[in-house]
Amino acid sequence: MGQEVYRQLLEVMKKRGGAYSGMDIPEFFDFVEELFTPQEAEVNNAMPKGFFTAKALAETMGRDEKEIEAVLESMADKGLCLALSRDQSRVYQSSRFMVGILEYQFMPGKTTDRDKKIAQLIYAYKKAFDQKTDRTVMTFPPTRVITVDALVKVDNQVHTYDQVQTFIDQSDPIAVTTCYCRHAAVLRGEDIHGMPNDVCMQFGPMAQFAIDRLGGRKVSKQEAREVMNRAEEAGLIHMSQNMTEGLGFLCNCDRWHCGAVKDALAKPKPGLFFNSGFEPRFDPDLCTACGTCIDRCPPEALTMGDDNLPQVNLDRCFGCAVCATGCPSQAISMVNKPGFPPPPKDAKAFREAVNASRI
């Protein structure tokens, strides 16, 4: 098998798509050879689209079912593929690098020497990949900001997909895992300045996978709300996918470590790419011009106006409400931002939106 199986893996991962899908550079092979054994790479390369059983994959590969099942189970434990229970049987699904395998490596929050090595190798690959890719090209955003819905001013329209609370109320189970971006930084020896690390949330089937395989902690709805409150106090941005109206996960991101936020900030107008569909409104009767909101704003979208009232640059503003959650005078509420598109209805609509934005 040797090197050839990893060259095949490169082509397979390119076809799977997503961010950091695969690039023929030395850093790619350094990290995949650490992540996958040759046998795991071979099984990964043979995985079909969609859900499949160990029996079906073993037949495709002309191998023994028990042997393939053991490899798949080990891969799911390592975050190299998904494993879910469906209709009382075990099904598997291949994963992209991102969103997927790269995040799964750090969600368990482990700190072994191997975890530290993987963190360094993934960082080196992403850095080399970014240097060879124009990340500022405007495309349809795969992620969206979720504003703090409790701060949306009465009379504004708030859709279900805008409301984290709704997903907490509707989802079972709910899991909390380690933030992979900040944990990867910790593994690389960086300081995360006391920001909370155990605030990533998964809902429904993804939560069950996280609980079963990624060291996720099953939490009650009350605990989930407390996690949200902690993230808001720390000035973190609620963020999720922008591929459908549903929420499979909710990240609580900062501006220094989160890849999605850093990607947005590299664009000339970050607020037009990465947004919640809301913007802040400042109450001149309540504002004391303390400047807290300006310090907290992740994309530095705020400045103090001549009238001692904060001014917002909407080209930069994410609509995250981090300014509002930190305002000691409750002078900030969130209102609808006209013109920001809703999330696509399904995966087909998402692909169409991405293609249209490239044109």
**Count of residues in contact with ligand SF4, rule CB under 6 A:** 27
Q: Is 299 in the site for ligand SF4 (CB under 6 A)?
A: yes
Q: Is 273 in the site for ligand SF4 (CB under 6 A)?
A: no
Angstrom distance (rounded) from CA 79 to CA 106: 9
Q: Which of 320, 337, 343, 350 contacts ligand SF4 by CB under 6 A? A: 320
Q: Which of 121, 211, 243, 297 contacts ligand SF4 by CB under 6 A? A: 297
Q: Is 302 in the site for ligand SF4 (CB under 6 A)?
A: yes
Listed ranges 21-29, 131-139, 176-184, 299-307: which one lies at the site for ligand SF4 (CB under 6 A): 299-307
Contact (Cβ atoms closer than 8 angstroms) between residue 195 and residue 237: no
In angstroms, give the least distance from the CB of 234 to ligand SF4. Answer: 13
In angstroms, give the least distance from the CB of 110 to ligand SF4. Answer: 32
Listed ranges 19-27, 53-61, 194-202, 322-330: which one lies at the site for ligand SF4 (CB under 6 A): 322-330
88 to 107: interface string for ligand SF4, x by CB under 6 A:
--------------------
Q: Is 331 in the site for ligand SF4 (CB under 6 A)?
A: yes
Q: Is 151 in the site for ligand SF4 (CB under 6 A)?
A: no
Listed ranges 92-100, 173-181, 329-337, 342-350: which one lies at the site for ligand SF4 (CB under 6 A): 329-337
In angstroms, give the least distance from the CB of 253 to ligand SF4. Answer: 12
Q: Is 312 in the site for ligand SF4 (CB under 6 A)?
A: yes
Alpha carbons within 13 angstroms on the beta-carbon side of residue 290 total 15
Q: Which of 290, 335, 340, 354 contacts ligand SF4 by CB under 6 A? A: 290
Contact (Cβ atoms closer than 8 angstroms) between residue 180 and residue 107: yes
Q: Is 274 in the site for ligand SF4 (CB under 6 A)?
A: no
Q: Is 83 in the site for ligand SF4 (CB under 6 A)?
A: no
Q: Which of 317, 337, 344, 350 contacts ligand SF4 by CB under 6 A? A: 317
In angstroms, give the least distance from the CB of 216 to ligand SF4. Answer: 28
